[in-house]
Structure 1
């Protein structure tokens, strides 16, 4: 099937949770899925920001069905309340998109004592997925879609120091937290298959997605004329966040997508239409993924499968 990002398969009757769906790539994932007819639920901390995103989506997609549940991935103790607030007997997909990016020291921790980026981007999603699996399993052929980062492609996990306790470099810690997410997504699919589950797990990444190349969605995102002009020379290499949402949207909606796959932009993995990619070398070792899984289970007290 030829995939057209502007003519998506209809998704009426499907309910999809998007973590961090109020801003950035998560917002555009929500907008595009709502445009296909799905009911989208924005998982985010701020009710005010969720309401702004809902209003923007409804302006772009008249009649859009958009909900919100409070979600703080840095607070593991609050995740059950998030799942309860969904009030869904079945969930067709969850897009694990939310993330924290810190550019500079000092090293920060969650209330549970986990390094903030690893604790939020990976451990929070790890624990949330375990709580969501019963409602995902209640839907036919539900999907867990994990949004990683191209920044993770050149990194390797240090499972002797997964939380950067000994050597903290913010950008590297972020890339490793996203790499951990992606490893988890692939390991999750292996375990779901072994358990005979109808739920599948797919991994994607947005390539290079810049605010300066992202169309305005006030008040969620506003791009000035100057920012747009400054970003234009980069458009040959990277893209905006509207396009960066395409791999996740395809991973949710394309009936040809199967568990254990990696989807990203077509042009050097940085921009363009979404396509199936070979699994990166640093994602392909099941033994590393199993060690990460065991460490994550110990740190969170969760066991998704």
Structure 2
């Protein structure tokens, strides 16, 4: 008799599959959603590297993860996405022979004017959230290509859903409104992740690119991880009403963790929370209408590569883009089980 295959089970956000022997990089892994992505990935047995511009905060985050995940393989590198010329040397400090996934999570969100620029003269949020991750991908290309089937997971934002890119004013030199500029920078980042997958598949690369968003993730609904994040009893009580429609950053990490680990997740997909795309377990969503605009994505790609001074092929692709994104497996977007 043929042996019976073990039964498959639905994806469980609290019991992800094991990933011993794999190497993951999480940008901005020292705080917020990035911290919880790193903590949850560390629980799978993988080696997790935190990319952070502040070594002290990164070490505090690594210590917090070690205290919660016995035997965690966790370390950090200095990574400042606003300093494009520093990214090559940062990648050289990774000290891995391959990279199975990178989670492009780090970001800057300014609440008020004035408009700020990097040393290279780029608007700070656009440079950090979008251009920095594009340039980082170029330097990670050899390590990603060395893995059997690496994944590039780009963490967007629900704030991007109501925004549209102005290709003539990508860096908000004419119309700077802090919250709008942030939303547009995250929209650019999401367009990048989708366009990247089109180009990867056109070239026959085994690397795939997936886009996720955390829904509505609030500090007041996030469990404490001192000293990384401390939630007082008062904040917890004040956040309870919002918990009906929103969630904490630990749950906001779930779509990115699934995109890294679930073999059923396909390149070119968009993953977010199940309930109104704001809270709950992760599911595959239909692409937002403006995210499906391949003409805008292609123009953004060319302009961004010029601004970041990188080859449009990023060292990962060889031909021009073609084809369509991976569709969700069914209307519910529930995804597939794993065994």
SS of the residue 2:161 aligns to = helix
- Asked if 1:289 is matched to 2:297, the reply is yes
Name 1:261's counterpart in structure 2: 269
- Normalised TM-score (structure 2): 0.89
- Asked if 1:10 is matched to 2:18, the reply is yes
CA–CA separation in structure 2 for the residues paired with 1:36 and 1:280: 31
Name 1:201's counterpart in structure 2: 209
SS of the residue 1:86 aligns to = coil
Bigger Rg, which one: 2
Name 2:246's counterpart in structure 1: 238
CA–CA separation in structure 1 for the residues paired with 2:310 and 2:247: 36
CA–CA separation in structure 2 for the residues paired with 1:205 and 1:39: 23
Deviation at 1:134, TM superposition (A): 1.1
SS of the residue 2:93 aligns to = helix
1:68-115 Cα distance to aligned partner (Å, 9 max, x none): 110000000100011100022100000000000001000000100000
Aligned partner of 1:169 among 169, 177, 200? 177
More helix by share: 1
Matched ranges for 1:56-95 at <5 A: 56-95=64-103
Matched ranges for 1:91-106 at <5 A: 91-106=99-114
CA–CA separation in structure 1 for the residues paired with 2:47 and 2:164: 37
Name 1:159's counterpart in structure 2: 167
SS of the residue 1:52 aligns to = helix
Q: Which moved further from structure 2: 244-253 or 83-92?
A: 83-92
CA–CA separation in structure 1 for the residues paired with 2:215 and 2:69: 26
- Normalised TM-score (structure 1): 0.99
Matched ranges for 1:68-147 at <5 A: 68-147=76-155
Deviation at 1:192, TM superposition (A): 0.4
1:269-290 Cα distance to aligned partner (Å, 9 max, x none): 0000000000111110111000
Name 1:23's counterpart in structure 2: 31
Question: In angstroms, what is the RMSD of aligned CA positions?
Answer: 0.6
Count of matched residue pairs: 305
Q: Runs of at least 4 residues of structure 1 off by over 2 A?
A: none
**Structure 1: gaps (5+ residues):** none
